[in-house]
Amino acid sequence: MTEPMDKQPPVFAVRKLWKVFGPRAGRVPDTPELAALSPADLRARTGCTGAVQDVSFDVRRGEVFVVMGLSGSGKSTLVRCLTRLIEPTSGSIAIDGEDVLSMDKARLRELRRHRAAMVFQHFGLLPHRSVIDNVAYGLEIQGVGRAQRRARAAEVVAKVGLDGLEHRRPGQLSGGQQQRVGLARALAVDPEVLLFDEPFSALDPLIRRDMQDEVVRLHREEGRTMVFITHDLNEALRLGDRIALMRDGRIVQLGTPEEIVGSPADEYVRDFVRDVPREQVMTVRTAMRPVADAAEAESGPAVAPDATVASAIEAVARAGAPARVMDQGRCVGVVDQAALLAVVAGLSAEGVAA
Ligand SMILES: Nc1ncnc2c1ncn2[C@@H]1O[C@H](COP(=O)(O)OP(=O)(O)OP(=O)(O)O)[C@@H](O)[C@H]1O
């Protein structure tokens, strides 16, 4: 990705979004006194649940945007609001600049079928249909002819690694394979955005890892925009270009994995990321210092600015000398043992200097 993603117009632009469940929900966002309450106090006062509260963010073109949080933090409600599977209480949502909240039924159908396809945890496959017909189903609904949809389905089936299983029925597949069918079905309609609602949480860890790799690979190959819900921090860190961390209906921090792990916004986030192996998330860019002299710029192993601290530790240990951080043939800094250890120890840059 050569062009910085934030220079492009967003796919989704969400502003001051609220979803309140309960009696006379509409008054909550409009009443500052109620809007400021914690979910527990709001429930006690009004009987309402503030599932999503005053949330604003952009989903940038080509990124994997992860919505992460514990159970009940509002992830599913938030993502379902994007295509109005759940009707928001207030706020605004645009897709490619088009107002989602003013779309009529036909336009909404088009949005869900063509532009923002959802991959669910319970993939809802049709049990009596073969893999290929399940994958082609979305195209069938769109009125695409049989030959054309079969050709497209075959292409996508191959892409997600289901070759040879085309004629099986879902009941004859493992959980991971079924999830691949769900993924292929969403991909078949070639949506602008894929929305994943905890798609892998029912899978066992090894298969889950496989599916994560699959998503990373698909994303690398196609650059498709993805919104991914998970309550699993490791999954979020593996997949996310950026992560929105939710708590009680609000986004408490939105940033890259490195920002979230390296500069937690508050105690809650700090606690959340406490056990993350920092050297696998933080990059050399965080740990490097300016070059001291010409000799330093010309010796030592070379590492890229976005290499992980873990890989720089290996390079430095092998060479027994600081590493040069090379960006497009130019030495932009140096990382040494002390700085790398400081990252592992969770000391800030100031901590290193001191
Ligand atoms: N239809 C509904 N009516 C009332 N309250 C609801 C409804 N749907 C969700 N909620 C409440 O809204 C809050 C957020 O729920 P949501 O399902 O969005 O959370 P989540 O982060 O996706 O949780 P999980 O990881 O368990 O799926 C919860 O307190 C939930 O009980």
CATH of the domain at 208: 3.40.50.300
Average pLDDT, the chain: 90
Which atom of ligand 1 is nearest to 73's Cα?
21
Whole-number Å distance between alpha carbons of 61 and 95: 11
Asked if 177 and 107 sit in the same domain, the reply is yes
Asked if 273 and 288 sit in the same domain, the reply is no
Choose the final residue of a domain: 233, 260, 277.
277
> Is residue 83 in contact with ligand 1, taking CB distance under 6 Å?
no
Asked if 214 and 82 sit in the same domain, the reply is yes
DSSP letter string, 249-309:
TEEEEEE-HHHHHHS-SSHHHHHHTTTS-HHHHSBHHHH-B---SHHHHHSS-EE-TTSBH
Q: Which own/partner pairs from 175-178 qualify as long-range (CB within 8 Å, at least 24 positions apart)?
A: 175/202, 175/203, 175/204, 175/207, 176/203, 176/207, 176/210, 176/211, 178/123, 178/125
pLDDT value at 278 more than 70 = yes
For residue 34, is it within any domain?
no
Dihedral, CA atoms, 158, 120, 134, 216, nearest 10 degrees? -10
Residue 123's SS3 state is coil
> Is residue 176 in contact with ligand 1, taking CB distance under 6 Å?
no
Q: Residue 353: which pLDDT band, with cuts at 50, 70 and 90?
A: very low
pTM beyond cutoff 0.90:
no
**Which of 75, 86, 231, when mutated, tests ligand 1's pocket best, judged by the most ligand atoms within 8 Å of its CB?**
75
> Is residue 77 in contact with ligand 1, taking CB distance under 6 Å?
yes
For residue 28, is it within any domain?
no
Residue pLDDT, tens place only, 160-193: 888 999 999 999 998 888 888 988 888 888 899 9
Whole-number Å distance between alpha carbons of 303 and 336: 12
Q: Which two tokens stand for residue 206?
A: 């090894």
> Is residue 230 in contact with ligand 1, taking CB distance under 6 Å?
no
Distance in Å, CA 100 to ligand 1 centroid:
22
For residue 17, is it within any domain?
no
> Is residue 75 in contact with ligand 1, taking CB distance under 6 Å?
yes
Of 91, 110, 109, nearest in space to 101 by CA = 91
Whole-number Å distance between alpha carbons of 100 and 121: 25
Asked if 157 and 305 sit in the same domain, the reply is no
Asked if 337 and 250 sit in the same domain, the reply is no
> Is residue 300 in contact with ligand 1, taking CB distance under 6 Å?
no
Which atom of ligand 1 is nearest to 69's Cα?
21
**Least confident among 32-41, 192-201, 333-342:** 192-201
Task: Characterise 249 by phi-psi region: left (phi > 0), alpha (psi -120 to 50), beta (else).
Answer: left
* Element (DSSP H or E) covering residue 196: strand 193-197
Distance in Å, CA 209 to ligand 1 centroid:
26
Asked if 202 and 338 sit in the same domain, the reply is no
| Residues contacting residue 326 through CB under 8 Å, at least 6 positions apart | 302, 303, 304, 332
Choose the final residue of a domain: 220, 255, 277.
277
CATH of the domain at 339: 3.90.1280.20
pLDDT of residue 354: 34
Residue 336's SS3 state is coil
- DSSP letter assigned to residue 112: I
Asked if 261 and 319 sit in the same domain, the reply is no
| Protein residue whose Cα sits closest to atom 3 of ligand 1 | 21
- DSSP letter assigned to residue 221: H
| Protein residue whose Cα sits closest to atom 18 of ligand 1 | 74
Choose the final residue of a domain: 250, 277, 304.
277
For residue 250, is it within any domain?
yes
Distance in Å, CA 52 to ligand 1 centroid:
9
pLDDT value at 24 more than 50 = yes
Answer yes or no: are the C-beta atoms of 260 and 99 closer than 8 Å: no
Q: Residue 2: which pLDDT band, with cuts at 50, 70 and 90?
A: very low
Whole-number Å distance between alpha carbons of 308 and 346: 15
How much is the average pLDDT of 57-84?
96
How much is the average pLDDT of 260-271?
94
Distance in Å, CA 325 to ligand 1 centroid:
46
> Is residue 283 in contact with ligand 1, taking CB distance under 6 Å?
no
Asked if 189 and 296 sit in the same domain, the reply is no
Residue 99's SS3 state is strand
The residues pairing with 229 across neighbouring beta strands, listed in sequence order, are 67, 197
Domain range for 331 is: 279-353
For residue 14, is it within any domain?
no
Residue 230's SS3 state is strand
| Residues contacting residue 13 through CB under 8 Å, at least 6 positions apart | 58, 92, 93, 94, 97
Asked if 178 and 249 sit in the same domain, the reply is yes
Dihedral, CA atoms, 145, 150, 151, 156, nearest 10 degrees? 130
For residue 90, is it within any domain?
yes
Answer yes or no: are the C-beta atoms of 219 and 226 closer than 8 Å: yes
Asked if 262 and 139 sit in the same domain, the reply is yes
- More confident call, 55 vs 296: 55
The interface predicted TM-score (ipTM) is 0.97
Asked if 215 and 232 sit in the same domain, the reply is yes
Overall domain count for the chain: 2
Of 166, 164, 163, 128, nearest in space to 150 by CA = 166
pLDDT value at 101 more than 80 = yes
Asked if 148 and 161 sit in the same domain, the reply is yes
Residue 243's SS3 state is strand
pLDDT of residue 189: 87
For residue 20, is it within any domain?
no
pLDDT value at 123 more than 80 = no
For residue 75, is it within any domain?
yes
> Is residue 74 in contact with ligand 1, taking CB distance under 6 Å?
yes
